Amino acid sequence: MSKQWTTVLIAASLALTLVSAPALAFKSQYKMSMVVGPNTAWGMGAQRFADLVKERTDGKINIKVYYSGALFAGKQTNEFTLLRQGVADFSLASTINWSPQVKELNLFSLPFFFPDHASLDAVVQGKAGDQIFARLDRLGVKPLAWGENGFRQLTNSRHEIAAPADLADLKIRVVGSKLFIDTFQALGANPTAMPYSEALTALQQGVVDGQENPVGGVIVPYKLWQYSQKYLTVWNYVVDPLIYAVNGREWKAFSPEIKKVLLQSAQDAARYQKALARVGLDDGAALAYLKEQHEAPDVTDPYGVLEKNGVTVTRLDADQLAAFKKKVAPVVDKWTDTIGADLVDTARTDQKQA
């Protein structure tokens, strides 16, 4: 073959690759993983992201949300690995479920480190939040925005809990890294780790006495009073932020325009999602924001709903909280080392600037 013909052939095959590249760039459907069901602030926030992306890419990016752990057969602590491998393309995930693989994410589960929403916002919007996002990026998962499940409160079927002694020998279901086991053992309870998909049955059958989850995020939408959870302690002991994220390889393959749409859609969906998670639990800002957006949340007073359904709500005062904090102090020290003392310090500095 003449040299000229070879050049023509190479040019032609190059042109073909270029023409077919855009068609190959998008999957017909992207998978988004989700631990809980669609009727939660968490699930609604994922669906909102999928809807915004579809609308803003003229249907080119079509994301299907796989609710209730369908994408990882309920094994929620495998979610990070599966997203990294590309079994899931997108996720709106709890830092708790990724904490076995990403030790820095245990920061949010450090008992009594975040006293209120302002201290959380300061950290996720501050230097510590940036460092955590950079870490995820290096691990092959591109984070897009912070969402929220909420502050986690304690429920049980047996009696009121107002002091560590009340937890003695209670079987408490937990999930995530071993930090949760350490925390509940330090408090004198008998913790068992299991995924959410198994927790409801375990509560129903009395295999465990209690569990911990956000009131607006999980306890009310899942009507946990129907699973014998008649006592609730408000102690804000850990917070549960969520992360909108995409598989790193997928992210790199997208054009700058698509990247912009994904980032913006995640931020817009996150704003809505966070407001839904905070309704009735903040100073009124969340509900005001939703009203402004012409959104009408089903539940605006989660504690009211609990009380109406016969749940005894116990709010701890500063002295009562101090007794719990004292018990978990060694756990905080141990896990500060695991998380990285620098990151914990950075988070503390972020909080001071709130």
Give yes or no for residue 196 binding ligand X2X (CB under 6 A). Answer: yes
Q: Which two tokens stand for residue 212?
A: 């911990």
| 216-275 residues near ligand X2X, rule: CB under 6 A | 218
Give yes or no for residue 32 binding ligand X2X (CB under 6 A). Answer: no
- Could you give the CA distance from residue 352 to residue 122 in angstroms, rounded to a whole number? 8
- Could you give the CA distance from residue 140 to residue 315 in angstroms, rounded to a whole number? 41
Using an 8 Å Cβ cutoff, are 35 and 79 in contact? yes
CB of 15 to ligand X2X, least distance (A): 48
CB of 11 to ligand X2X, least distance (A): 53
Q: Which two tokens stand for residue 38?
A: 């669609």
| 45-84 residues near ligand X2X, rule: CB under 6 A | 76
CB of 175 to ligand X2X, least distance (A): 4
Give yes or no for residue 179 binding ligand X2X (CB under 6 A). Answer: no
Q: Which two tokens stand for residue 295?
A: 């959104």
Q: What is the DSSP string of 226-288?
A: GGT--EEEEEEEEEEEEEEEEEHHHHHHS-HHHHHHHHHHHHHHHHHHHHHHHTTTSSSHHHH
CB of 217 to ligand X2X, least distance (A): 7
- Could you give the CA distance from residue 124 to residue 107 in angstroms, rounded to a whole number? 11
Q: Which two tokens stand for residue 322?
A: 């101090």
Q: Which two tokens stand for residue 187?
A: 């408090």
CB of 294 to ligand X2X, least distance (A): 29
CB of 308 to ligand X2X, least distance (A): 23
Quick one: which of 213, 229, 233, 236 contacts ligand X2X (CB under 6 A)? 213
| DSSP single-letter state for residue 216 | I
| DSSP single-letter state for residue 36 | S
Give the contact letters, 78-117, x = binds to ligand X2X (CB under 6 A), - = no: ----------------x-xx--------------------
Give yes or no for residue 35 binding ligand X2X (CB under 6 A). Answer: yes
Give yes or no for residue 290 binding ligand X2X (CB under 6 A). Answer: no
Give yes or no for residue 175 binding ligand X2X (CB under 6 A). Answer: yes
Residue with the shortest CB distance to ligand X2X: 196
The nearer residue to ligand X2X, 200 or 263, going by C-beta atoms, is: 200
> 271 vs 53, 210, 245, 266, CA distance in Å?
15, 31, 15, 9
The nearer residue to ligand X2X, 121 or 240, going by C-beta atoms, is: 240
CB of 153 to ligand X2X, least distance (A): 11
| 127-156 residues near ligand X2X, rule: CB under 6 A | 149
**Burial degree of 24 (CB within 10 A; 0-12, 13-18, 19+):** exposed
Which stretches of the chain bind ligand X2X, using CB under 6 A?
35-36, 76, 94, 96-97, 149, 175, 196, 213, 218
